[in-house]
Chain A
Amino acid sequence: QLQLQESGPGLVKPSETLSLTCTVSGGSISSSSYYWGWIRQPPGKGLEWIGSIYYSGSTYYNPSLKSRVTISVDTSKNQFSLKLSSVTAADTAVYYCRTAAAGRPDLDYWGQGTLVTVSS
Chain B
Amino acid sequence: EIVLTQSPATLSLSPGERATLSCRASQSVSSYLAWYQQKPGQAPRLLIYDASNRATGIPARFSGSGSGTDFTLTISSLEPEDFAVYYCQQRSNRRITFGQGTRLEIK
Contact = CB atoms under 8 A, between A and B. Distances in A.
Interface stretch (B19-27, B46-54, B61-69): B46-54
A96 B46 CA distance: 14
Given A105-B50, A106-B49, A106-B56, A49 B98 contact: yes
A45 B100 CA distance: 8
Contacts of B34: 105, 108
B56 A49 contact: no
Nearest to B49: A105
B46 A52 contact: no
A112 B43 contact: yes
Contacts of A106: 46, 49, 53, 55-56
Nearest to B54: A106
Interface string B70-107: 00000000000000000101010011111111000000
Contacts of B95: 49, 60, 62
Contacts of B32: 105
Contact of A108 (B55, B94, B97): B55
Nearest to B56: A106
Contact of A46 (B1, B43, B87, B96): B87
A63 B35 CA distance: 23
B43 A63 contact: no
Nearest to A59: B94
B1 to A, nearest CB: 6
Nearest to B101: A46
Interface of A: 35, 37, 46-49, 52, 54, 58, 60, 62-63, 96, 105-106, 108, 110-113
13 contacts: A46-B87, A46-B99, A46-B101, A47-B38, A47-B44, A47-B87, A47-B89, A49-B97, A60-B94, A105-B91, A106-B49, A108-B49, A110-B43
Given A47-B44, A110-B43, 12 more contacts: A46-B98, A47-B38, A47-B98, A48-B98, A52-B94, A54-B94, A62-B95, A105-B49, A105-B50, A105-B91, A108-B46, A113-B43
